[in-house]
Amino acid sequence: MRIIIDVGHPKDVNVFKNVILALKKNGHEVKIVGRDKENIKKILEEFGFQGEFGPYYKNIIGKACGLVHNDLWLYNIARKFQPDIFVSQGSPYSAHVSRLLGKPHLAYIDTEIAVPAIKLMLPFTDKVYTSSSFYTDLGPKQERFNGYYELAYLHPKYFKPNPEVKKKYGLDEYIILRLSALAAHHDLNATGLNFKTEEELCEYVNQLEKYAKVKISSETTQWSIIRDRQLKNDPKDLHDLIFYSSLCIGEGATMVSEAAILGVPSIYISNTQRGYLNELEEKYGLTYTVQKREDGLKKAAEILENKSYKKEWLLKRQKMLDEKTDVVNFMVKTIEACVNVKKP
């Protein structure tokens, strides 16, 4: 079987990494396509993968104007490759081109608030796979599974933390503060930490540093405090650094969820919700979602002042792992079963 896998975000690369390896092992031919966003190319290369990349538009207007451009770009690639199936984490481009070529498109999604992308993708998609925690009903095309996509790359079966990573970066006890540009299509009307001045960010960092050194992961470096404390790491080391951190706090849902899956206390500061984060909080107590940065600071202090919190979080993580399915195995089986998917 010939498969196109479309990656639009660094997380997509991680989610599909072990799936691609399993598909190739089973004899399938996989072509990776994506947008030239952030460090996607570098992550793919570190995993030993190659891909083809179309343009990436940084704002909502650009994304809207670039829709047809990316559709045409992918259509030309697909006509040459002649795939049997398109697979993505909800790519409208793959959905549209799959319909033009009369091939199935399977979407593996986890972001309920990505409403524009879902509306553009869903009519042209055959099946949509979501976690059982996904709070939106997408109709008869939706199939739920008992897991989180982060488990496709952070389950102990697939991820072994490198104990040398702290030494490599000269770190001891540290907190990761994640700042996001909030420029994705699903970030429309989203608010997070909302630092208006560098002084506000400095004060926040000072409060957190009562407990541990703060390293900032940021998509922008407009202030000197960000440049001075920026978490400068090889992409391949990111999850090791998260694993060994004391706490992860910020406005990026991906990093917060990854920390939770790794058994690290995490706090998501946003006016938006994610079903998987809600379940990780309500069912397992691994993470928290708050709307105001002051509430995030209070929750961080509450956690870090508990001397046994690390042991407690690892026990919570183990309970979660014991109850969830093998996500890689689920994804591979559903992709290989695509011959049974009927076009609507």
Q: Is residue 155 part of a domain?
A: no
Q: Is residue 158 part of a domain?
A: no
Note whether 249 and 317 are same-domain residues.
Answer: yes
Domain count, the chain: 2
Note whether 169 and 274 are same-domain residues.
Answer: yes
What are the pLDDT tens digits along the chain (344 aa)? 999 999 988 889 999 999 999 999 999 999 999 987 768 888 898 899 999 998 776 655 556 667 888 899 999 999 999 999 999 999 999 999 999 999 999 999 998 888 888 999 999 999 999 999 999 999 999 999 999 999 999 999 999 999 999 999 999 999 999 998 643 443 444 567 989 999 999 999 999 999 999 999 997 878 999 999 999 999 899 999 999 999 999 998 999 999 999 999 999 999 888 999 999 999 999 999 999 999 999 999 999 999 999 999 999 999 999 999 999 999 999 999 985 444 44
Note whether 170 and 319 are same-domain residues.
Answer: yes
Q: Is residue 20 part of a domain?
A: yes
Note whether 185 and 132 are same-domain residues.
Answer: no
Q: Is residue 231 part of a domain?
A: yes
Note whether 260 and 335 are same-domain residues.
Answer: no
Range of the domain at 173: 163-323
Give phi and psi for 290, each to the nearest 5: -135, 160
Note whether 203 and 271 are same-domain residues.
Answer: yes
Q: Is residue 36 part of a domain?
A: yes
Q: Is residue 156 part of a domain?
A: no
Note whether 252 and 123 are same-domain residues.
Answer: no
pLDDT score for 8: 87
Note whether 318 and 332 are same-domain residues.
Answer: no
* pTM of the complete model beyond 0.75: yes
Q: Specify the CATH number for the domain of residue 97.
A: 3.40.50.2000
Q: Is residue 157 part of a domain?
A: no
Note whether 329 and 295 are same-domain residues.
Answer: no
Note whether 171 and 316 are same-domain residues.
Answer: yes
Q: Is residue 286 part of a domain?
A: yes
Note whether 286 and 337 are same-domain residues.
Answer: no
Note whether 206 and 291 are same-domain residues.
Answer: yes
